[in-house]
Amino acid sequence: MANRKDSVLYIALGTSGAFTVEQCQKIFTILKDLGKPCLIASAASELKELRVPKNSKLVAWSPQLEVLAHPSVKGFLTHAGWNSTLEAVLAGKATICAPLFAEQLFNSKLLTYEWKGSVAWITDPPATSQLEPRPPVMKKDEEVKKIFLTFYGAEGEAAAAQMKKLREQILDKMKNKDELAALRNALLRD
């Protein structure tokens, strides 16, 4: 997918729980209406029936850290599992959160309120005691559209700057810069 710098929204739907077909179609439609390309990674067979806009792509799998490091990728719509949270930081990419269960709620709060690396959540937060994944309750179309507009505007730029700053702070604190390369390589192998 050849796109200009900072234009593609990468959407990873995780291995446990996902958006419904209707929710994914809503995301595609809103991004298409805004003229924004996206890449959705999901192995869910039911998503094959989606009407994918010409400027977007649906794949069964992608090397997430490599995708996030690509200059065309603006940011990341994520459930905010711990691996995805770390990879967003390592890549210095802003996020839009859609937590489903378990640690994803805590990580979403961390990304949004502590690190200021997420512009918003497109879903209503799950109950804190929720241990099983369920499709998230997505916000209304106009709210989701506004979140995407925010993501592609000044607030999204500020969130990306915060994530890049956090990445640099991590690099500066590491005694041996080769440790980051080793960590990155280990994440790529997984």
d(CA 137, CA 38): 21
For the stretch 67-123, pLDDT in tens is: 999 999 999 999 898 999 999 998 999 999 988 777 888 899 999 999 999 998 888
- Return d(Cα 102, Cα 79) in angstroms, integer: 10
Is the pTM higher than 0.85? The answer reads: no
Q: What is the pLDDT of residues 139-157, one digit of tens each?
A: 888 999 999 999 999 999 9
Element (H, E) at 137: none
Domain coordinates in residue numbering, the chain: 8-189
Contact assessment for residue 50 and residue 19, using Cβ atoms and an 8 Å cutoff: no
The one-letter code for the residue type at 118 is S
Q: How far apart are CA 40 and CA 177, in angstroms?
A: 32
Level-2 CATH architecture, domain 8-189: 3-Layer(aba) Sandwich (3.40)
Query: What's the pLDDT at 180?
Result: 66
